[in-house]
Amino acid sequence: MAAKEGDIGLHQVPFQDSSESESDNNDDIEIESEKEEEKNQKKNQSPSPLSRRQYGNFRRYYEHRNEEGPEEDPRLELLRKEWFEDKECLDIGCNDGTLTISIAKMFRCQSILAIDIDPELVEQANLNLRDSCLLMQMGGSSENNSDDSAQRAAASPEKEVAPSEPSSLEKRNLLEVVTFKQENFMESQHPELYDTVTCFSVTQWIHLNFGDQGLITFFNKIWEVLRPGGVLLLEPQAWRSYSLNHYLSPVAKKNYSEIEIRPKDFQKILLNKIGFRTVEHINSGWIDAKHLRFNRPVLVFKK
């Protein structure tokens, strides 16, 4: 069911950031980075710009994020075939490619271009992709989640998480579908158009590094690379997370002090200023976010 313009979608949850008023600890990964940063400062080490994680370019991100293993990312359960099957997709901020590869295995995408600003993470993503392909070819992968998808679909048919035909997954080489590329989305040009853009846990890093104007540019660039009828899957971080991460670079610190837009405003901006027609909330997120790791909302905007 698509929501009307400005509607809040299927789950009828308000788009609010309960973390804005929270002051106690949240065991988000960004806090871990804060502790590491403090340690480094004490040791008087000055890490290189990209290893400082100023873009959210964390190493071993998924070890922290998915305690049950990379294939157990709860976001996978939210994804629908209609957004990926036979679609040309762009994944912005793919880190080491773990989530991207899972999506490619779960759905028969036409193609996925996955980009990240950090060249080392892109290198790791390519290694992970090759490993996944080898495992799939050997047929011994516990990660081949055709079965997982089928179980999910059976457990929650209303979510329409219907798996691709297992045989279709095997017929296609993952290497032909997924391309990882080092790229700063804020600077790159994309003459080609996409059906689906995924942007999971990236907005905070754009916002802290490029400020309010940069964020608007980012949203406009996404709009421009989407075909009419295309979808943006957006998972924004809460405002509280910004306060834990703005120390990561002088630029972020400065931008943080000047930022006026809050994550709870993104929906209005994307609908009223950027021009998306509809939004659907496919999970709640931020509700009760106080003690839950990575409990972020996922919103689907349609062009």
Judged by the rule CB under 6 A, the positions of this chain that interact with ligand SAM are 55-57, 61, 92-95, 99, 115-118, 121, 183-186, 200-202, 205-206
Closest CB 178 distance from ligand SAM, rounded Å: 14
CB atoms within 10 A of CB 106: 23
CB atoms within 10 A of CB 153: 15
Q: Which is nearer to ligand SAM, 15 or 200 (CB)?
A: 200
Q: Which is nearer to ligand SAM, 3 or 300 (CB)?
A: 300
Cα-based torsion angle of the residue sequence 291, 286, 261, 301 in order, rounded to the nearest 10 degrees: 150
Order of strands across the sheet that contains 278-281: 178-182, 111-116, 88-92, 194-200, 226-235, 299-302, 278-281
211-228 burial, b at 16+ Cβ within 10 Å, e below that, comes to: beeebeebbebbbebbee
Residue nearest to ligand SAM (CB): 93
Closest CB 7 distance from ligand SAM, rounded Å: 25
Closest CB 132 distance from ligand SAM, rounded Å: 16
Q: Which is nearer to ligand SAM, 3 or 19 (CB)?
A: 19
Q: Which is nearer to ligand SAM, 64 or 290 (CB)?
A: 64
Residue 108 makes CB contacts below 8 A (sequence gap 6+) with 84, 85, 86, 164, 165, 168, 169, 172
Separation in Å, CA 40 to CA 11, 17, 28, 57, 241: 43, 31, 19, 17, 20
Q: Which is nearer to ligand SAM, 44 or 189 (CB)?
A: 189
Cα-based torsion angle of the residue sequence 114, 82, 1, 11 in order, rounded to the nearest 10 degrees: -50
How many whole angstroms separate alpha carbon 212 and alpha carbon 134?
A: 43
3-state secondary structure of 111: strand
Q: Which is nearer to ligand SAM, 3 or 231 (CB)?
A: 231
How many whole angstroms separate alpha carbon 237 and alpha carbon 37?
A: 20
Q: Which is nearer to ligand SAM, 3 or 128 (CB)?
A: 128
Q: Which is nearer to ligand SAM, 51 or 168 (CB)?
A: 51
Closest CB 113 distance from ligand SAM, rounded Å: 12
Closest CB 104 distance from ligand SAM, rounded Å: 14
What backbone torsions phi and psi does residue 88 show, to the nearest 5 degrees?
Answer: -95, 120
Closest CB 1 distance from ligand SAM, rounded Å: 26
One-letter amino acid for residue 97 of the chain = G
Closest CB 212 distance from ligand SAM, rounded Å: 15
Closest CB 140 distance from ligand SAM, rounded Å: 25
Angle at 171 between CA 126 and CA 148, to 5 degrees: 75
